[in-house]
Amino acid sequence: NATFGNAVELIVSIVALRDGQIEVVQSSMLGSILSNLLLVMGMCFLFGGLVHRGTNHNGSEQVFSAAVAQTTCSLMTLSSASLVLPAALYAVMDHNGSNAKRESILVFSRGTAIILLLLYVLYLIFQLRTHSNLFDPESQADTSAAAADDDDTTQTPEIEAAAPAHQQPAMGPIAALAVLVVTTVLVAICADYLVGSIDDIVASTNMSKAFIGLILLPIVGNAAEHVTAV
């Protein structure tokens, strides 16, 4: 979900880079991080509390996996460092007529990008192969139930009703792949028109490109991921 949920944002960024909209891409990257940390997580807390509050305000308490949270926080720290270090190096470096220094920053930035891609591949292996039980909702539910038994607590009907049930896939892998390919093509076409209209929007509405990249594009690009998370 995280990989294909960001397909819209990835396509928009590629089209924007092709058109030279570097400021929009930079703002969109930062806006996507802030949107996921603040908007999506806040909406999940809000709607999760409303759903699990129960009929007599004695609903269940929302829980999360500590191992998954630690893993994602570590990845977030590495990602933040990869954004900060090249910017800090550029800020402290002397730029008096030296293209070699600019090239060194470019090489450093590309190196961090490659490292981030490798870390993401390793994270997928960690999630899907070596430690898939940590990300399995049923295993997490069993762990929560075992912890509740150790604490000599009893589950209320609201908590039992809130337990996730096993769902059968509504679409086969071939049909899902076909829908994904068609959707990607349509998104690429729409992204071309979207990026091409940024300059006209800035000129007609007096909105800055930073605002479009920081606020509007992350919300639109991550709409599917936001809805899935909530």
**Residue 118 forms part of a structural domain:** yes
**Would you say residue 91 lies in a domain?**
yes
Residue 21: inside a domain: yes
Count other C-beta atoms under 10 Å from residue 96's C-beta. Answer: 6
pLDDT of residue 24: 83
Number of domains in the chain: 1
Q: Where are the alpha helices (DSSP H) in the chain?
A: 2-5, 7-18, 22-34, 41-51, 66-92, 99-125, 137-150, 157-162, 173-196, 198-205, 209-211, 217-221, 223-229
What token pair was written down for 65? 């996996």
Task: State whether the Cα torsion 115-72-226-174 is positive or negative.
Answer: positive
In a domain, 161, yes or no: no
Averaged confidence pLDDT in the chain = 76
| Residue keyed to tokens 């993401």 | 120
Distance, in Å, from the CA atom of 101 to the CA atom of 116, rounded to the nearest integer, reads: 23
Tokens of 94: 């002397």
pLDDT (0 to 100) of residue 155: 47
More reliable by pLDDT, 153 or 47 = 47
Predicted confidence at residue 142, as pLDDT, reads: 54
Q: Would 204 be classed as within a structural domain?
A: yes
Reported confidence tier of residue 137, pLDDT bands at 50, 70, 90: low
Residue 99 lies in a domain: yes
Can you tell me whether residue 172 is helix, strand or coil?
coil
Reply yes or no on whether the pLDDT at 161 is more than 60.
Answer: no
Average pLDDT over residues 94-109: 75
**Domain region containing 222:** 6-53+66-146+173-229
Q: What is the rounded CA–CA span in Å between residue 176 and residue 227?
A: 18
Residue 178 covered by a domain: yes
157 located within any domain? no
